[in-house]
Each structure stands twice: as C-alpha cells, then as structure tokens.
Chain A
C-alpha cells in the first residue's frame, strides 16, 4: 500500500517537475532565439487548457486502442519515476525492479505512443510511428551497451547497489569508461525524448506531428504529460546510473539535473533534424563504436 502511495506521489512529482522543466526548456530556447519566453506557469495553463478542449477521434481509428494507448505510457513512466525517486530518498534499497526492469519500462512510453499512432488510422501517424520504432531500434543498441558498462563497473544489476557502489567508490562518470558511457547515454536520451536532431517521428514541418497528429484535448494532454515526465525521468536515470545519484544532497543533485537538461536544450536548439536512415547509421555506427570502446575500457579497469 505504501508502495502504491509512493508511486502516486512520485508520478505527481515527476509531472510537476516535468512541467517546470518544460518551462525551463521553452524559456532557454526563447533566450537562445532572442525572444522573451513564456511565464513560469505557462506549461500548467497549457495543460489545463488542453483538458478543456474537445476530443476528436478519427473515423478510421480503432477507438478503444486510440483512446487508451496514451494512458499505458503515462502509467509506465510513473513506475520508473517511482523506482528512481526511491533511490533518491532511500539510496541502496530494492524497490519494484532492477536495472533491466527500468530499461524495459523506459521503452514502454514510446511503444504506447506507437500503438496509439497506429490506431489513429492516419497514414501520417503511421509514418511517424514507424519512424519512432526505427529510432528505438537505433538508439536501443548503444543505450544497452552504455548500461552494460555500468553493470561491468559495479558488478550488479540492482539500482540500489549501483548507487551504493558509487557512494563508496565515486561516480562512474569520473572514470574514462563511465564518462564515455554517460556521453552515449546522453545522446540516446536526446533520441528517447524525441528532441531535435532526432524528432523525425514528429517532424511538425514534414508530417505534422506524426504520431500525435490525430490526438486532441485530454488525450493530447496525457501524451504531452508523458513526454514531460520522460524529460524528468531520463536525466534522473542517467544521474542515478553514472553521476552518483541524488544521495549527496539536494543542491548537487539539482545542479546535475540542470546541467543535463541545459545540455539537452542546447543540443536541441543548435542542430538540424536528421533523416531516419541517417539516425540509424549514426547510432549503429559512431555511437555504438564509442559504447563498445567504453565496455572494453571498463574490462581493462579504466
């Protein structure tokens, strides 16, 4: 029961932090582009506004699937948020699942989006969703390799033990292999969040938001919220895995988070969109190469 309560708290917290992060993203983007940017509460208003909008379901859609797919993504990102938050507050404990479980749960929101896009019956959504699936295939390989580096360094697949290991021996990112793995993880995070240069699944200017094209009103609100929560959860995941977690106190943890988010926003604002085949080549080529180098270095003890 306490676990479930914790889950609700973690989900709500992740949602709120995610909305704040999205404000930070928009503000920073605006400053980069010499604009003023939105006020602090703008993402909250946007979310509430979406709840008040009319829901439109396309005629060709498989209705139930179309409507419920976003909720599965929302629910599973909450599970990851709960697992990570447990490590932030009670480092070293076992809760719900280990590293492998988290990897699989992190793949579920994109999968839910894909199924929702498929269900809409819109050809553009199908195109977007198929790109999303190919993108998953592309980044999943180096992402798993980066995580294996952490498993090699710490010798465990339990997140709690990985955090304790780092508390005793210093962050993984301080070693050469750990730093490389973190870099790989960062690039994969950019793709997992669907940000430029890896936003080909949405590509507003080309396929009109792709997977999201038919979503409106509260359904879109749920999808957006999932995205914002992922925006919180993914940096926290990398921090927990490679940067020593949040056990060292509120201020250092927050700083790590802000640094990662800022980097994501900077990359997003200074790059053009890749084509999907370029992205696959990029991830299976150089990024996987770096990840393999990290694994070899980890085996050699660096």
Chain B
C-alpha cells in the first residue's frame, strides 16, 4: 500500500475501533485515541521528510504530498494529539465518550484526505466528510448545541455546494480533475465565478466574513476541546490550505487584479468587523471565537496580495493562529474546568491560583495581538510587507488601495490587543470575585496545563527562531521566491529585552524590592463594597456609544449582518407564502386545478396549431 494512504486510513480505522470497544473500556478508548493520533504525527512527519510523494491509480494522480501539503499534514496530526491529551481529563465523565474520540479521529483522517487530495473529486468527498464530523462533534454539546450544529451544517454544507459548482466550472473549462494539471488565468466571467465560489467555500471553512457566523454560535455551546480543535485550529489549516491551493496553484492571482482586491477587501472587513464584535463580548469563549474569525482576515489579506512574502505571511499566520488560538481556547477550558464558567462577569483574579494557565494565556494573547517578539508579530509583519509591496506593483487606483488594507491590518491588531486586555483583566487580573469562592481554586491537572504550555512555548519559539525553524522547514519550501523588503531580527531584539529586564532587575535589587510590604489597596480612604468590583466587561462601552459605531453595533446585535439569519428570513418568507396557499379549502384547490388545466390546455392547443 502506498504510504500516503496511511494517514487517511489509520485514524479512520482507529475511530471505528473506539466506537466498537465496550462502553466500560474507557481507558482502552483513550489509549487507542492517543496512540493513533501520536502514530499519525510520527508518520506524517516522516512523510514530510520524504516529500514529494505521489499515489497514482488508474492512470490518475489521486494523492500528492508537496511542500504545501507536507507541513500542514503533520500540523493537523499535532493538534489532534494536543486536543486528545487535553480531552483525557476535560471530557472525563461526559456522555458519548466513545463517539467523541471516534469523531475526532475521523476528522483527522478526512483532514489528511483533503490535504493530500490531488483529484478534485476526492477533495470534494473528504471535504464533505469533514462537514459531517464537524456537525457530529458540535452536536455532542447536548441539546443546547443543536441549533448551532444545524447552522454549521447549513453554512458549511451550503459552501460545499458552492465548491462543487466551482470545481464543475473548472472541469468544464479545463477538462482536468487533477489539481496539478489545472492552471487557469482568471479573466473570463466563468473562471472568475469559479474562483469566487471556491474562495467562498474556503471562507466558510476558515470562518472569514461573510461565512463566519457559525463559529461564534458553536463556540458557546459545543464541547470546548471541539472548539479548540476545529474552528480554532484544524478548520483554519484546511480552509486557508484550500485558499492557497486555489489562488496559487489552480488560479494565478496577480497583485492588484480584481480578484486580489476581492480577497483583500474580504480580509480587511473580516479583520475589523470581527474584532469590533470581539471587543464587546461578555463571554470568554465567544470573545475568542470572534478573534478566530478576525485573524482569518489577516491570512486572506496576506494571500490576496499575490506577493510571495504576503502569501508566505498568510500561511505562517495560519500556522501561528492555530497555535495560539488553540492555546487560548484550552486555557479558557482550564478556567471553565475550575470555576465552572467562562462568563467574564463572574471571573477575576485567577492569576494567583492558576499561574501556569495565566502565563500560557498571556503569551498567547500577546502573540495574537502581534506583540514582538512572539510568532503572531512575525507573520503579521510579513503580511504587512506583502501589502506594501503589492502597492508598488502596477499603476492606477487598485495599486493605492494598499493603504486601506494596511490600516485595517495594523489598527485591527491594536483592537485585538484591547480586547485581550479586557479578557486578561476580567479573568486573571483585577479584583477576585469574592462570591465565587476563589480559595478552592487551584491549578489544573498536568494533562490539562501541559498542552497549552507546549503551545505557548511554540508561540515563543516560532517567534524568536522564525527564520531558523518554521520559515526554513515549513513556509519557505511551500512559497518559493520570497524576499523581505523590511528588516526584523527577533533574536537580537529578544536578547535586548532580556538584558533590559536584567538591568531593570538591577534597579529593583538596588531598591531592595524583595522585602516588600503587603497592604490593602488605596482607594482614597474609601472602602469599596464587594459588589462594586470592576470586571472589565464594560471597558469599551464608551467606544460603543460613538456615532456610527452605535448604529452598527445595534444592528449587529440584531443579526442584521448575519447571512444565515437573512437567508433564513428569506426562506421562511417564501415558504410562508406557499404555505398560505394551503388553506385546506376544497373549492380553492379545485380552482387551482382548474386554472392549471386551462393553462395546460392553452399551451397544448397553441403548440398543436
């Protein structure tokens, strides 16, 4: 058997094994899940080292492992391992444990299939399976998750239809189903339609606007590891993989072309609108899920530039996002595990009780806000360069739009920082919630803090050693011909920060900080009642009140901008008008039949003449 089949078949078989094990054998189920995912990680890493690999059958190239799919494949397996290890404790005692691990493993198998597929039909089939496992996994959240699961199925499944259309158009115009044989210059109306359809399918998977609304909805109710697994990490890898495959290999997107502007507009709107929504959220999971949308905007922006450094930045950001967003969701899970809530109003002051979780969350939050020298900054910096470079190519109006994209991206990162400051304050710092009884709270068990700790460590390593590790091994081979017009040496900067902190510590030593005195906080001689605690939830309400923003927020709150809700309204409008005709009155039905018969007769009579 061709080695490329293993990463697809192994997890699927393991998933069935989990399903068919007796219910009492919980330990065995967990063992199978851990072993299968870890085996997949090792296997895919070996495949990466032996790229390129091909699997041909019946004269067609079905599976292919090149530089692009090569690094995404082990990344998927890696996140599966992280999530399964985390779930060992978190999902303990939850119902449907066997199904849970089976679905997770099937997702990995299908994801490997999507990434390896070279034949568009194979891609489509695996893509459909992924939609199904996503639905099943969200559905595990219980009855409360049902509406969200349905919404997800409709949006993701609907986008499958778009993808089918897009691939069909590609097939009719090129006659090829192998992605390696497709190379279209998107100039005619049909090919542009095909590209837009495929891009929308990728958007729905990754969660870019306007196809994003299933992510915040499902984040609230689905089991937390599922959210950390799919919308936060794996779906980003897959959606952005498809977008890169489509816009780099199948179509050639030139800088400042119409399609490039389409992508970048979608990206810029996603960045700003989603982060503005994140700013006002009251729930940790929901806040994070809006960031899971917002960050996709950066990736789309980077890929939309059509400049190698921008595309590489988009890909790197995809990888980084999966790392820190997964980490953030897992820390949110830690908090939920210990306090039983993710409501920002009811948390506070947890940093003292859960130090490891806090540090992981802080590092990931700084990464996502683009604070140097962490990984989020590096990929954003590459995307900015792509945007600036795209502005230098070509003439005319389109080549000046880069200013807009750059502002959206850079200002978006300030807004990201703001909303994470709110999260950090409300959850870990600030005043503890005296009613929640924080005394009982302590650090989570090792299988729950280790996964986020590994991810946080990766945030640091991928930031400081970006050139030496991720770029060299993963990104550069996938996107050839990139050059950096800017300049950034994270290693030296980090060394400087370390030395700066050492000098600062020297100042502290001189000042004898170690012998500090603990005292009550000074509130100007007043005593604050315990319930007047500042949680940070309302930090940005003053911003919400400003002119146009107030109008927009109000409408966003009513889901006016939700494509799904609008579609639902339209569907019900249509179906209601039809159902109104079903009045149950026999004379009315007879009248319809009579009218129909008349019409038929008229047409036949005309034709016969």
Please report A residues at the B interface, Cβ cutoff 8 Å.
Answer: 3-4, 7-8, 11, 50-65, 67-68, 70-72, 74-76, 78-79, 82, 94-101, 103-105, 107-108, 111, 114-115, 118-124, 126-127, 129-130, 133-134, 136-137, 140-141, 144-145, 148, 151-152, 155-158, 208, 213-214, 217-219, 221-222, 225, 276-277, 280-281, 284, 295, 299
With contacts A71-B500, A72-B497 known, is A280 near B403, CB below 8 A? no
Beta-carbon contact of B418 and A157 below 8 Å: no
Least distance between B372 CB and chain A CB atoms (Å): 5
Beta-carbon contact of B352 and A58 below 8 Å: no
By a CB distance below 8 angstroms, the chain A residues around B430 are 118, 121, 126
Other than A3-B495, A8-B503, give 13 A-B pairs with Cβ distance below 8 A. A51-B510, A59-B519, A79-B500, A97-B488, A97-B489, A108-B372, A122-B522, A123-B523, A127-B534, A130-B539, A136-B418, A140-B410, A277-B546
Q: Residue on A with the closest CB to B511? A: A218
Beta-carbon contact of B507 and A218 below 8 Å: yes
Interface residues of B in 191-206 (CB under 8 A from A): none
Beta-carbon contact of A136 and B414 below 8 Å: yes
Beta-carbon contact of A104 and B546 below 8 Å: no
Closest 3 interchain pairs by CB? A75-B500, A218-B511, A71-B504
Q: Residue on B with the closest CB to A130? A: B539
Query: Taking each of A94, A121, A158, A295, which has the highest tally of chain B beta carbons within 10 Å of its own beta carbon?
Result: A121
By a CB distance below 8 angstroms, the chain A residues around B411 are 140-141, 144
The residue that B516 contacts in the complex, of A7, A56, A95, A120, with Cβ under 8 A, is A56
Beta-carbon contact of B488 and A98 below 8 Å: yes
* Bound CA–CA A130/B585 (angstroms): 65
* Bound CA–CA A266/B430 (angstroms): 36
Please report B residues at the A interface, Cβ cutoff 8 Å.
Answer: 349, 351-352, 355, 358, 370-372, 377, 381, 384-385, 388, 392, 400, 403, 406-407, 410-411, 414-415, 417-418, 421-422, 424-425, 428-432, 485-489, 492-493, 495-501, 503-505, 507-508, 510-513, 515-524, 528, 532-534, 536, 539-540, 542-543, 545-546
Beta-carbon contact of B543 and A157 below 8 Å: no
Q: Provide 25 A-B residue pairs closer than 8 Å at the C-beta atoms, listed in order of the A residue.
A: A3-B496, A54-B517, A58-B519, A59-B518, A62-B352, A62-B429, A65-B358, A78-B496, A96-B489, A97-B372, A97-B487, A97-B488, A100-B384, A100-B410, A101-B487, A115-B421, A121-B429, A123-B534, A129-B421, A130-B539, A136-B417, A158-B487, A213-B522, A218-B511, A280-B542
* Bound CA–CA A214/B520 (angstroms): 10
Q: Residue on A with the closest CB to B351? A: A62
Beta-carbon contact of A104 and B504 below 8 Å: no
Q: Residue on A with the closest CB to B355? A: A64
Q: Residue on B with the closest CB to A95? A: B487
* Bound CA–CA A52/B512 (angstroms): 8
Beta-carbon contact of A221 and B533 below 8 Å: no
By a CB distance below 8 angstroms, the chain A residues around B492 are 3-4, 96
By a CB distance below 8 angstroms, the chain A residues around B516 are 54-57, 67
By a CB distance below 8 angstroms, the chain B residues around A78 are 496, 500
Beta-carbon contact of B499 and A141 below 8 Å: no
Q: Residue on B with the closest CB to A71? A: B504
By a CB distance below 8 angstroms, the chain A residues around B499 are 4, 7-8, 75
By a CB distance below 8 angstroms, the chain A residues around B406 are 144, 148
By a CB distance below 8 angstroms, the chain B residues around A284 are 546
Least distance between A226 CB and chain B CB atoms (Å): 9
* Bound CA–CA A280/B424 (angstroms): 23
The residue that B417 contacts in the complex, of A107, A122, A144, with Cβ under 8 A, is A107
By a CB distance below 8 angstroms, the chain A residues around B493 are 79, 96-97, 101
The residue that A144 contacts in the complex, of B407, B512, B519, with Cβ under 8 A, is B407
By a CB distance below 8 angstroms, the chain A residues around B539 are 130, 133-134
Beta-carbon contact of A126 and B534 below 8 Å: yes
Beta-carbon contact of A7 and B496 below 8 Å: yes
Q: Residue on A with the closest CB to B496? A: A7
Beta-carbon contact of A11 and B507 below 8 Å: no
With contacts A101-B372, A148-B406, A280-B543 known, is A214 near B513, CB below 8 A? no
By a CB distance below 8 angstroms, the chain B residues around A95 are 487
By a CB distance below 8 angstroms, the chain B residues around A217 are 511, 513
Beta-carbon contact of B524 and A155 below 8 Å: no
Beta-carbon contact of A72 and B511 below 8 Å: no
The residue that B495 contacts in the complex, of A4, A55, A61, A225, with Cβ under 8 A, is A4
* Bound CA–CA A280/B415 (angstroms): 13
The residue that B351 contacts in the complex, of A65, A103, A281, with Cβ under 8 A, is A65
* Bound CA–CA A51/B508 (angstroms): 8
* Bound CA–CA A47/B496 (angstroms): 23
Beta-carbon contact of B542 and A119 below 8 Å: no
Beta-carbon contact of B351 and A144 below 8 Å: no
Beta-carbon contact of A121 and B501 below 8 Å: no
Beta-carbon contact of B418 and A280 below 8 Å: no
